[in-house]
Structure 1
Amino acid sequence: MKATEWLVPRAEGLYCAPGDFFIDPLVPVPRAVITHGHADHARPDHGAVLATEETLAIMRLRLGEDRAGATQQPLRYGEELTVGGVRLRLEPAGHVLGSAQAVMERAGTRAVVSGDYKRAPDPTCRAFAPVPCDLFVTEATFALPVFRHPDPLREIDKLLRDVKLFPDRTHVVGCYALGKCQRLIALLRQAGYDGPVWLHGALRPLCGLYERFGVALGDLRPATEAAKGELCGGIVLAPPGAIADRWARRLADPVVCLASGWMQVRQRAKSRGVELPLIISDHADWDALLTTCREVGAEDIWVTHGREDALIHALAGFGIRGRALRLIGYEEDETA
């Protein structure tokens, strides 16, 4: 039996029939395997939830104890268990803290659901590990040849040079609360920036969670408690929605920045009023997608939540069967 026969796309999401569980289901289900804590993958009110310990902690923080799963089972990377004759394990996805690929084996065949992933180094989470398989389900957020992301440290250097150039202004960087915020801080520290990083209040809880899991972020301070002059020459991180609203007006002549893979598209930066776009993505770019699809050696690759057509066309050139799942409900995040 092929993996394409026992892993089935359904309205609720991808369904492992012999194990009787869904991967990242879109609606409440009795049994769910969750790849990571972003809201379009980790939804509330499932029955039994299996994920990494970090992802479960993120779900409890964001959804509340009573909505993160009636029962919660943590699974360490590489640890294996058998569910309905299916051997299941989780391997790192390199996307955010605790992110994982779901690896399922049955009757000598293996299917891997990537969740969201990236191949670029990230000091805040375990690096992506390609797993050879017969069926690979990949995301395709940046699956167009135009998307080739630069070295993130080059973008951080661009930010730090601009901070030095405009010491009387405050650089406010829009970033997603889970993953992007913590990665930016870690990259700043890696680049030698040891000053305080000022945070919008919405970003603080997840930074605290990262630190509880051993990710050191250094001197973090609440931006709302600082005097306006104290933020001159400083770096403030905030949710993307806050960088252009009244909250940002209290900052000292702010330089509006946004950290996202989409900042490679100049029109997107212009439409958001972004003065300093930072091309830093938590998803695989075009080259990384192609490299991954070839490395795993799968005969069948299913493509979901992104630009499926271009990737499927490229896979055909490698002799790989591609299929667009077109699952409804996964978001195109402006800050990906």
Structure 2
Amino acid sequence: MSGPAPAGGSGQLPEDVRDWFARRTWQPVPWSASELFDAKRGRTVSVVLPALNEEETVAGVVGAVLAAGPLVDEVVVMDGGCTDRTAERAVAAGAKVVALSEVLPGLEPLPGKGEVLWRSLAATSGDLVVFVDADLVEVGPEVVVGLLGPLLTEPGVQLVKGFYRRPLRLDSVEQRSGGGRVTELMARPLLARFAPQLSGVVQPLGGEYAARRDLLTRLPFAGGYGVEVALLMDTVQLAGLDAIGQVDLGVRKHRNRDLADLGVMASEILAVVLDRAGVDPAPLPVELVQFAESSPTEAASGWHPQVRHVERAGRAPIGSVLPDHGGPRS
């Protein structure tokens, strides 16, 4: 474990954030799968892969998770409405696939990633739950080993975020960095303003993280892409900053989204942070107006408005909605 990098510019991290970073940041991953298996002491681990049409990558991610060996007790791919061969390829790779309609069938699903993660708590049984996005490429078992390390070796840690260098792929060219655009342009400035105690978190929006089930069942799950930053803010509110740790997972490569999709994502994150900070001035959902230019082959030339729906519907803690799914498991 090492301390923070030297501050750039003329400022530096606040003392409390600097102290947290030094104690709760591990870089690189210092544990092996065998060491952590010995530290499990009867606890069980569920790995959840939320997926929506990830047939090209899901098998590789499942294989990387299973390569952690007996450290992992179950691998569940949560099918968020796939229309391709994601489910087939996940099963062939060794995962269990669960569709949203199969979980809590009496409850109508809400749209968005947050709903998929929330329902995964009712579809899994592990004392520790690891979330890994299904669109990763060039991933290995260190993603699971790294995320579980603090939970199995540091009693005070309840939620662990992964962080990484994020290349940006543009057509056939890969830039060394530049991914995580919504993090830098939206999430980080918002946290600096409304939750500065989280300013030491390297990847607040990253989809690779792990937590104790008894924490997750007490947290509300925001809808859409605001779920990750909401879990961070709610964990600080419930258990304090020291309950959060972060681990360097190396490089994260995944499918980069287009700018219009990132606009919707940023809108959802804006709404969630303002809501958690108690300063949201307007109710949601809202309609986000974006503009696209006609292609040369289209009859109507010029720029045209396109309206995108921005949703923020979320869920109360699953432990309060369905008590059988809450609390620690022995």
Q: TM-score, normalised by structure 2?
A: 0.25
Q: TM-score, normalised by structure 1?
A: 0.24
- Structure number with greater CO (CA < 8 Å, separation at least 6) is 2
The answer to which structure has the higher helix fraction is: 2
